[in-house]
Structure 1
Amino acid sequence: AAVNLAPGDVYAAIQRNNYLAAVGQTKGNLVQVNLLADTDLRTVGEFERLIVADRGGATVRLADVAKVELGAEEADLLAKYDTRPSVYLGVWPLVGANEIEVSNGLQREMERLRTTLPSDVTMELAYDGTVFMRDALTEISKTLIETILIVGLVVFLFLGSVRTALVPLVAMPVSLVGAAVVMAALGFSLNLLTILAIVLSVGLVVDDAIVVVENVERHVREGKSRMHAAIQAARELVGPIIAMTITLAAVYTPIGFQGGLTGALFLEFAITLAAAVLVSGMVALTLSPVMSAHFVRAHGKEAWLTRQVNRGFNRLRNFYSRALDGALSIRWAILAVALFVSFAAWPLYAGSRRELAPVEDQSHVSMFFDASPDATLESVDAASRQVVGMVKGMPEARFMWSLVGSWGGFGGMVAKNWKERQRSTEQLYGELWGRVSQVPGLRVFPRLDPPLPTPGQFDVELVIQSSGSVEDLLGAAMAVVGAGWQSGKFLYVDTDLKVDRPEARVRVDRERVADLGMDLASVGRELGALLGGGYVNRFNYFDRSYKVIPQISREDRATVGPLLDLKIRTPRGDLVPVSAFTSIEAIAAPRTLNRFQQRNAVRVFGGVRPGVTKAEGLAVLEAAARATAPPGTALDHAGESRQIRREASSLVPTLGFAILLVYLVLAAQFRSFRDPLIVLLGSVPLAITGSLLFPFVEWTTINVYSQVGLITLVGLIAKN
């Protein structure tokens, strides 16, 4: 104002004098030359020397009325490593890529780049999701070795002879190698689930070989030669072994046809396990008889261990015979008990705790930040520094990474290696919430990383949909939030619909604007020049084009009131304050208006307390929503909650499909539709009831892994 300049004058001066012109070209008979006029500005100094006005012979340059700087278009995001400013580079493997190989290659490249960095710049691997994978693969590989040793020891103890035990022991690695060949042919990799399938198959692939070697021993004891005994034993067992193998392999077929997360994750698991079982059946009918013909003892005295084992089995057989005779004498009572136990499976299943997958210690706790709608980047940064201090105060924490903006942000605590701490991340999660919940000006929502790849940000995410007003949705959401707090199952519960964002609506007096000789387009342009709502043009910097953005200083736009005192120029040349033709109305508006499946929607989310499953927390919110939501609303789920509900409803039909397949295989074997019913009804319901006792007494939960275990149980029971 001291030099009779308005922001619009500066805007126009930049627009006139920063112009990239292509003049044309000269053409002669032999040569043509392109002509470029040096009419654009390229450096901060050139912009500062730009003449914006001439007042009485005094030149007014841009540097006299403005601060020119080369900066970010809008500084609205800060990256921090603990409290140090940082730049994060995220790396996501392509579909089908091996994450561990990608991580190894990235670390090699980082080692190379570190030698080229300035002395005051460091490069760190802030978070590596493959660390958990590596440790998990190491542990499950150890488990595989331990399983092979334990199975080998058990086989030796019960067969009573090292020579005889070699037959099923050799069948194990041969069957596993066969399964590995199938995996390679189908393009499967060695991952947590395929190795888990191999671990489980160790105990399954020896069954057929044990049956063969015991049958060979029986024929040898009857006086036949070892070669003849092996041939005779194999012929007798061709049908049963094929039936048992197909029965156990077929039970995994429903997993391959199952949709959702279980079908996607466990397809390779099911095929690997089925391949190992099928190969073991072929090995039992080919390699095992040949080895038995050479390794089974000929006529002679039994070894001491064999005699002890057989003596124990004889006592067990005698006890079983007496118990069976007694049961047959009270068959109706036994039948009643069996029916009671069988029907008890359903209440046990209904009363068991459910979750998508058990919590796993991944040495990382994620955090999401929510700032007040009028917060600034500086205030959120200050609050996030307090969060870092609280996190670093935990002895198990290595460091914290974060990305913060005026709206909030997200980050994570990276914990020390499992060997360097006593507490799990689930225990740290509870303490972390107690610490960060006290930070003023910033709401922090910690979350344990899900054990399976699922979308979403929180443990529980319930979506309430409605065609009604935002006010109706907000009332329904707040009722659900209140019920969540009252349940005591949540560390935090909140909603994403908040009508608390302050807005200042500029009311323009159209008649006054016309009296001043202005139009609404010029008013909008002038206001945009004041607040940086647009840009004038562009400038070239190191062969890249960047925007030229004029705006008043941050101090002058810290609040709404002083904006009314700013002046703009009318077409008549007068400077008038903005207050001459505008007024400002303060209102509160929703931060966001979300839609879900084309309907107005609000999301209620929360983090469950340690020891509470996500399914239990979701059930609390669902019950509250059904009881309080107005007519016309519908419930849906987002994130991990959607997977929980989808997987929970898939167990019963998948288990039923598996039982049906086993029944058809047994019907083909027995050539009867009645005999398989005796096998299945007399064993499978009882076994399922027994297995459901453990989740019912809360020793474990029903999850995707236990569902696969129940399906495996059906095949094992039918096979035996």
Structure 2
Amino acid sequence: MTLSDLSIRRPVLAIVFAAVIVLFGVVGFTFLGVREYPAVDPPIVTVTTTYPGASPEVISSQITEPIEESISGVAGIRVLSSTSAEGRSEIRVEFELSVDMEAAANDVRDKVAVARRLLPGDVDPPTVEKADADASPIVFMTLNSDTKSILDIAAMADRIIKPRVQTIPGVASVRIFGDKRYAMRLLLDAERLSAHGVTPLDVQAALSREHVDLPAGRLEGEDTELGLRTIAKLSTPEEFNRLNIRSENGRLITLADVGRAELSAENLRSGMAQFGVPMVGIAVVPQPNTNAVAIADEFYRRYEGIKESLPPEYEVEIGYDFTTFVRKSISEVEETLLIAFGLVVLIIFAFLRDWRATIVPVVAIPVSIVSAFFIMYLMGFSINILTLVGLVLAIGLVCDDAIVVLENVYARIEAGRTPLQAALEGSREIYFAVIATTLALAAVFLPIVFLQGLTGRLFREFGVVVAGSVLVSAFVALSLSAMMCRFLLKPKERAGWLQRVTEPFFIWMTRTYRASLLGFMRVRWAVFPLMALIAGYVVWQGSRLPQELAPLEDRSNIRVNVRAPESATYDYTRRSLDEVAVWIADNVPEVRRTFSITAMRGGAVNTGMQNIYLHEPEDRQRSQEEIFNQLSQGLARFDTLRIFPAQPPTIGSRFAGQPLNYVLQAPTVEALLGALPPFLEAAGRRPELRFVDADFKINREETTVELDRARAAELGITAEQVARTLQLTFGDQRFGYFVMDGRQYQIIGQLDRPFRKEPADLRKVHVRSNKGELVSLENLVRWRENTVPGAIYRYNRYVSATISGSMMPGYTLGDGVRALDEVAKEVLPSNIQTDLAGEARDLRDSSSSMAFAFGLALLIVYLVLAAQFESFVDPFIILLTVPMSLGGAVLALALTSSSLNIFSQIGIIMLIGLVTKNGILIVEFANHRQKDGLSKHEAVVEAATGRFRPIMMTSFATILGVMPIALSMGAAGGSRQSLGIAVAGGMLGATFLSLYLVPALYSFMSRYRRPTEEEAALDAAIQGAPAE
């Protein structure tokens, strides 16, 4: 007894089956989180080490290299990259998507701890953070005040706001831009130091002696015990100015005699401003693969409390909320879901023209769709754009099986069977056809489920949702729908008025198709040149389609990266950013808010960023792309600056710069220096590219100090004395810590600004010989000026330079990658290797993954069909229609000027399962007709004609179901559009072509089927089973 027989005979059981499915789906829905896309950000761990005053070469050799050497042994690393800049080492460890974040972070911490003993003794301890340093924040706040200093504003952000936000589950870090953390700066006067016979080392030694806070033990009485503590800490500028350094002729020399102490900022080389007004930005950065919407919801619950806890003179505002776009895009897809449901119901009613019959497939839709929520809950998925798009596509699919059951049962009622007999016989006849079509469609998504990397993670949830919904729909069709046919379908003595009016049209359509099919069968040999022609078009047009990872979306956000000349100071860069901001405000009326950040995250002082937030798309006339092109052209007027506008990526949370990142890897810095200039020159001439630049540059001016060791030895001065003196006078060196308002801050000492302007100032610095005499550095060292790298970059342990750029209008990322590949073949020597980074790397990996997925999907569908038909030939008949669908998809993408991206590619793979459904129905019924005694030719014509109406109904239900996606215009509409266009175009082309190609191929390739006497007797016994 089949499932259909059981459900038809026991209707309450069928209803209970459906009710349980819906119940579990509703329960699962309540536990699902919401995010924009599935979790596709790889686990990234960042190791940051600061060493104030150290050059990039020192940072690279003494800090970055030892830590990298230790970290490289951790399993699962995909990319290991690093930046060694002045005073700072930043190592970015990107793991494979399958690696657990917590385990990865722990492994890196262990390796960093091992490498710690290899680092210089006075370096700050490395910090390990579970976040990408370039990750985009989901919420960005600003804090400012008309009456308070930037120091007070930064302190308020650090003390009040950061602790409240940092504890939100899923938050990786709270970054404070423009942070001016308090520090006590000891600014020394070189001339007064020399006059009083004091060296910078004397000042540091005095601070170590006089600035102490030590436990002294305890007092033990008969009944009580008291702790003892020695407090000799300095905490105010006045106290530091009274610091005793040494005695001179019976007179104490204090800090005030040789300099001054002032309460200032720890970091004087970075800042944030709005049109020149300093402010502080607070960015909430999530951990990779966390629920951004849930984090934002919790943030807003705490936001009001934060505002109330701030003094009235401070003003905090939300600068940008990334989840606003996410919420809008989710809402757009939910609206699309309802529209698709309405369109599918209309097409079903238009073909059936009977409300009782329409109820059967319509009821199957919500039951199957709701079941997906329980599947998502079991798999740990979320409600996101792709899972909802999967549900929209499923609306047109989950009714197919119910329609096939309905049509077959209805045909038997019209032939005179009772509803019970018709339900039993009709569901038995198409039982295996329904299973075959369902398994074929579900099998298409099996390769996607097992794909690794970005592609697999991105579309795993999509594939499981569609496949799960379709599998449930087959169960519903063979149980609930079959049972409903028994009770809802009744024999009609007289057709209704709508059916009487429209039936002639459907009869004419069926007869016209039959006549055209018979005409085509007379020249059926034409099927082979026709298929060759379509296949040739697919190859030709497919190679001409632009390629990109994903279409850019209008997120109302543009970032302008600014680089001043390499020798520019912080003040020069800040003024330049202010000028850029004023030009943007005067020339781009769509700007809602803009902020400038100089030397972000401890970067070079000649770099900055202008973050532009636009009004929402519905509130402006121009698109983000049009504004971006205006900025690209207009900002070229700042000829002393290198300016690179960038738009946020569609997929992933990194927002580091240009979309095209091409890496040159060399064994040595010298080899890289030889290869880089000709490569940049050739790349700059390519018409596809603009804003071509390299991160590695030899344009930083440096003064190298060389010690005269013989002279130093004569005077009893060690190399350590000289090096430490230079550190203390020129290097923002930390002298210690002081406590203010219960918090610990740094004490930083160096020469005052007027005494460290040029190399000649080295003459004013002295060290003490072993005889106690002061010796000028002029007598101990030689200095020379040269040009060195501003930073040293490494990519997978090789010295590297990353070539970045964007594409000219009309070109895509794929064009840019091909252009640089051609340049590399022309100009690079054999010892230079190339690789891709960022979005370009994801594009390359996704293209190879998609090719593998497409081939594997074809193979799996073929094996499923071979098992179903018990033939290795019949599946070929069906799968040969796949190129026809590709022709329709490629033509639709070309006509709409769409690109071949990760979304359109997944639509093309999905077509394998969609278009085979029509072929399965024709071949399955043709085989039955052959067993009934018809010839191959007669059998396939009868099968195609008999299945014409359900094929048209199911195909148009799928096409109309996907049309709202193809016509998407709202948030994240571009990505959905490309997927919808590929599916709609492919289905439209394949539906009409398969109605002719499958019968023709069947007549050539299928074998004759005549049942043996034993098979005939068994079939008769099955068909004659009593219908109780």
TM-score normalised by length of structure 1: 0.94
Partner SS for 1:551: strand
Q: Quick one: which amino acid aligns to residue 400 of structure 1? A: T
Q: Of 578, 588, 591, which residue of structure 1 is paired with 2:790?
A: 591
Counterpart of 1:98 in structure 2 is 291
Q: Give yes or no for contact 1:364–1:414 (8 Å, CA) kept in 2.
A: yes
Q: Give yes or no for contact 1:540–1:546 (8 Å, CA) kept in 2.
A: yes
Q: Does 1:479 align with 2:678?
A: yes
Q: Does 1:719 align with 2:908?
A: no
Q: Does 1:277 align with 2:470?
A: yes
Q: Quick one: which amino acid aligns to residue 195 of structure 1? A: L
Partner SS for 2:319: coil
Counterpart of 1:654 in structure 2 is 853
Which deviates further from its counterpart, 117-126 or 565-574?
A: 565-574
* Cα shift at 1:536: 3.3
Q: Quick one: which amino acid aligns to residue 421 of structure 1? A: R
Q: Does 1:444 align with 2:637?
A: no
2-side partners of 1:368 and 1:248: how far apart?
47
1-side partners of 2:359 and 2:221: how far apart?
95
2-side partners of 1:309 and 1:711: how far apart?
37
After superposition, the C-alpha distances for 1:418-445 in whole angstroms (9 at most, x for unaligned) are 1101111111111122233333554232
Q: Of 639, 661, 686, which residue of structure 2 is paired with 1:461?
A: 661
Structural RMSD (CA): 2.3
Q: Give yes or no for contact 1:380–1:441 (8 Å, CA) kept in 2.
A: no
Counterpart of 1:179 in structure 2 is 372
Partner SS for 1:649: helix
Q: Give yes or no for contact 1:213–1:288 (8 Å, CA) kept in 2.
A: yes
After superposition, the C-alpha distances for 1:10-47 in whole angstroms (9 at most, x for unaligned) are 33433332233444444556555443333332322211
Counterpart of 1:620 in structure 2 is 819
Q: Does 1:507 align with 2:706?
A: yes
Q: Give yes or no for contact 1:78–1:404 (8 Å, CA) kept in 2.
A: yes
Q: Does 1:204 align with 2:397?
A: yes
Partner SS for 1:548: strand
Counterpart of 2:506 in structure 1 is 313
After superposition, the C-alpha distances for 1:394-415 in whole angstroms (9 at most, x for unaligned) are 1111112343121413342111
* Cα shift at 1:54: 4.5
Q: Of 796, 802, 811, which residue of structure 2 is paired with 1:603?
A: 802
Shift in alpha-carbon separation, 1:490–1:115, aligned structure 2, 3 A: same
Counterpart of 1:400 in structure 2 is 594
Which deviates further from its counterpart, 245-254 or 215-224?
A: 215-224
Q: Of 185, 188, 198, which residue of structure 2 is paired with 1:6?
A: 198
Q: Of 197, 203, 221, which residue of structure 1 is paired with 2:414?
A: 221
Q: Does 1:691 align with 2:889?
A: yes
Alignment of 1:286-435 (within 5 A): 286-393=479-586, 394-405=588-599, 406-435=605-634
Partner SS for 1:115: helix
Q: Of 755, 762, 774, which residue of structure 2 is paired with 1:556?
A: 755
* Cα shift at 1:644: 0.6
Shift in alpha-carbon separation, 1:146–1:258, aligned structure 2, 3 A: same
Shift in alpha-carbon separation, 1:584–1:95, aligned structure 2, 3 A: closer
2-side partners of 1:223 and 1:535: how far apart?
97
Which deviates further from its counterpart, 514-523 or 565-574?
A: 565-574
1-side partners of 2:743 and 2:305: how far apart?
28
Q: Give yes or no for contact 1:383–1:441 (8 Å, CA) kept in 2.
A: no
Partner SS for 1:607: strand
Q: Quick one: which amino acid aligns to residue 350 of structure 2? A: L
* Cα shift at 1:308: 4.2
Which deviates further from its counterpart, 198-207 or 86-95?
A: 86-95
Q: Percent identity?
A: 33
2-side partners of 1:180 and 1:358: how far apart?
28
Q: Of 134, 140, 148, which residue of structure 1 is paired with 2:327?
A: 134
1-side partners of 2:406 and 2:214: how far apart?
92
Could you list the structure 1 runs, at least 4 aligned residues long, displaced by more than 6 angstroms after superposition.
none
TM-score normalised by length of structure 2: 0.67
After superposition, the C-alpha distances for 1:661-681 in whole angstroms (9 at most, x for unaligned) are 111111122111111111212
Partner SS for 2:382: coil
Alignment of 1:183-262 (within 5 A): 183-262=376-455
1-side partners of 2:204 and 2:865: how far apart?
86
Q: Give yes or no for contact 1:7–1:530 (8 Å, CA) kept in 2.
A: no
Alignment of 1:656-695 (within 5 A): 656-681=855-880, 683-695=881-893
2-side partners of 1:454 and 1:46: how far apart?
48
* Cα shift at 1:77: 1.9
Q: Give yes or no for contact 2:581–2:610 (8 Å, CA) kept in 1.
A: no
Partner SS for 2:298: helix
Counterpart of 2:905 in structure 1 is 707
* Cα shift at 1:686: 1.8
Q: Quick one: which amino acid aligns to residue 403 of structure 1? A: I
Q: Give yes or no for contact 1:18–1:39 (8 Å, CA) kept in 2.
A: yes
Counterpart of 1:113 in structure 2 is 306
Q: Give yes or no for contact 1:457–1:639 (8 Å, CA) kept in 2.
A: no
Q: Give yes or no for contact 2:546–2:811 (8 Å, CA) kept in 1.
A: no
Counterpart of 2:37 in structure 1 is none
Which deviates further from its counterpart, 190-199 or 72-81?
A: 72-81
Q: Give yes or no for contact 1:365–1:449 (8 Å, CA) kept in 2.
A: yes
2-side partners of 1:697 and 1:616: how far apart?
19
2-side partners of 1:627 and 1:256: how far apart?
40
Q: Give yes or no for contact 2:578–2:596 (8 Å, CA) kept in 1.
A: no
Shift in alpha-carbon separation, 1:121–1:490, aligned structure 2, 3 A: farther
2-side partners of 1:241 and 1:546: how far apart?
72
* Cα shift at 1:585: 0.3
Q: Quick one: which amino acid aligns to residue 885 of structure 2? A: A
Counterpart of 2:230 in structure 1 is 37
Unaligned runs of 5+ in 1: none
Which deviates further from its counterpart, 113-122 or 37-46?
A: 37-46
Partner SS for 1:536: strand
Q: Quick one: which amino acid aligns to residue 513 of structure 2? A: Y
Shift in alpha-carbon separation, 1:23–1:221, aligned structure 2, 3 A: closer
Q: Give yes or no for contact 1:476–1:629 (8 Å, CA) kept in 2.
A: yes
2-side partners of 1:141 and 1:563: how far apart?
69
* Cα shift at 1:621: 1.0
Shift in alpha-carbon separation, 1:320–1:479, aligned structure 2, 3 A: farther
1-side partners of 2:277 and 2:298: how far apart?
26
1-side partners of 2:773 and 2:871: how far apart?
103
Shift in alpha-carbon separation, 1:93–1:568, aligned structure 2, 3 A: closer
Q: Give yes or no for contact 1:427–1:610 (8 Å, CA) kept in 2.
A: no
Q: Does 1:524 align with 2:723?
A: yes
* Cα shift at 1:99: 1.6
Q: Give yes or no for contact 1:7–1:529 (8 Å, CA) kept in 2.
A: no
Shift in alpha-carbon separation, 1:503–1:95, aligned structure 2, 3 A: closer
After superposition, the C-alpha distances for 1:548-584 in whole angstroms (9 at most, x for unaligned) are 3321111221222223233444343444432222222
2-side partners of 1:567 and 1:65: how far apart?
13
* Cα shift at 1:602: 1.7
Partner SS for 1:487: coil
Alignment of 1:48-63 (within 5 A): 48-56=241-249, 59-63=252-256
2-side partners of 1:51 and 1:466: how far apart?
54
Which deviates further from its counterpart, 303-312 or 398-407?
A: 303-312
2-side partners of 1:333 and 1:339: how far apart?
10
* Cα shift at 1:498: 0.5
2-side partners of 1:443 and 1:83: how far apart?
20
After superposition, the C-alpha distances for 1:584-603 in whole angstroms (9 at most, x for unaligned) are 20010112222222222221
Shift in alpha-carbon separation, 1:32–1:163, aligned structure 2, 3 A: closer
After superposition, the C-alpha distances for 1:305-356 in whole angstroms (9 at most, x for unaligned) are 3244432232223332332233233333332222232243223322221111
Partner SS for 1:502: strand
Q: Quick one: which amino acid aligns to residue 71 of structure 1? A: S
* Cα shift at 1:508: 1.9
Partner SS for 2:834: strand
Q: Give yes or no for contact 2:450–2:456 (8 Å, CA) kept in 1.
A: yes
